[in-house]
Amino acid sequence: MTDLADWVNGARPRTLVASVAPVVVGTAAAGRASLWRTLAVLAVGLGLQIGVNFANDYQDGMRGVDTDERQGPPRLTSSGSASPRAVLVAALVSIAVAAVAGLALAVATTLWLIPIGAAAMLALWLYSGGPRPYGSLGLGEVMVFVFFGLMATVGTAYVQAERIPAAAWWSATALGFLAVAILEANNLRDISTDGAAGKRTLAVRLGDRRARALYRALVAAAFATIVLGVAIGIADAGYGLSQWALLALAAWPLAIGPVDAVGSAEGRALVPVLVGTAQLQLAFGALLALGLWLATSAAT
């Protein structure tokens, strides 16, 4: 019988920072905050991410991708902890929560959010569903960068202020790189079992050595984006970031452990890399949000 702990683990709480950090940073970039809009955006982000996690659990379980050799935590469907139908219902309920919250935001701001939200839901479902899931085509990283980096951060800034400042784009890009790094750590851990099951993620296509190099490049790119944004901001404040955004660089010590570990860790030993990357994104996002808030305060 499935207990609450099974469902919580199935939602993959360690990775949910990928939905929280963009909301915090996007709100700071907007320079203003509405409590109900903040909560609604969180509901959208968390609902979509939890929904895609359950959908991936269901789809991979039904396709036979998740086996006993899988290095990550047990999945609900493949382990038999929950019926496939129950996992599918959990996915649909999570997505429905996101849809309701998104509809409220659309009514309050612009109805253009409705087709954008619908496209996001379809894209997230097709990540592991449909006749040719693009997560198996090596395109999952693109989806994560767009939806958990750009759209999540920029979208939050828009619904808060109904405009999109340059800081939101720079911040979204940096957070997108870290969100992709979380996915890459996950796929690197599962590279052998995914390959054997025919799930050709980007990590499988690149091969072990180049997938590890990509992870390091993604982490470095997040920090480099902030530095570049500040450099452009010094030249033209309207197109870059305030120097306060450099506070995000203080998160670098948290990157050292995962970056070092990804050099040699194998299988289950890569689990701490995923957790460490999520913690890095949380700290990076919090410090960046603080910097953006201080920049706004200094300008008023």
Mean pLDDT of 159-173: 96
The CA–CA distances, whole Å, from 222 to 165, 172, 281, 287 equal: 19, 10, 10, 13
- pLDDT of 71 higher than 70: no
Do 167 and 292 meet the contact criterion of CB atoms below 8 Å apart? yes
Please report which confidence band the pLDDT of residue 68 belongs to, taking 50, 70 and 90 as the band edges: low
Q: Tell me the range of 66-70, 197-201, 294-298 where mean pLDDT is highest.
A: 294-298
Q: Render pLDDT for 91-137 as a digit per residue (tens, 0 to 9).
A: 999 999 999 999 999 999 999 999 999 998 898 888 887 788 888 88
| Mean pLDDT (whole number) for 146-153 | 94
Whole-angstrom distance, CA of residue 57 vs CA of residue 51: 10
The CA distance from 49 to 15, in Å, is 9
The residue among 253, 281, 12 whose CA lies nearest residue 152 is 281
Share of the chain above pLDDT 70, in %: 96
In order of their start, the domains of the chain are: 4-299 (1.10.600)
Per-residue pLDDT tens over the stretch 181-231: 999 999 998 888 888 877 889 999 999 999 999 999 999 999 999 999 999
Amino acid 80: pLDDT: 81
Percent of the chain clearing pLDDT 90 (strictly above) = 64
**Tens digits of residue pLDDT in 24-61:** 999 999 999 999 999 999 999 999 999 989 998 898 88
Look at residue 91 in the predicted model and tell me its pLDDT: 93
Tell me, what's the pLDDT at 70?
59
Worst-scoring range by mean pLDDT, 3-12, 158-167, 268-277?
3-12
Across the chain, mean pLDDT equals 91
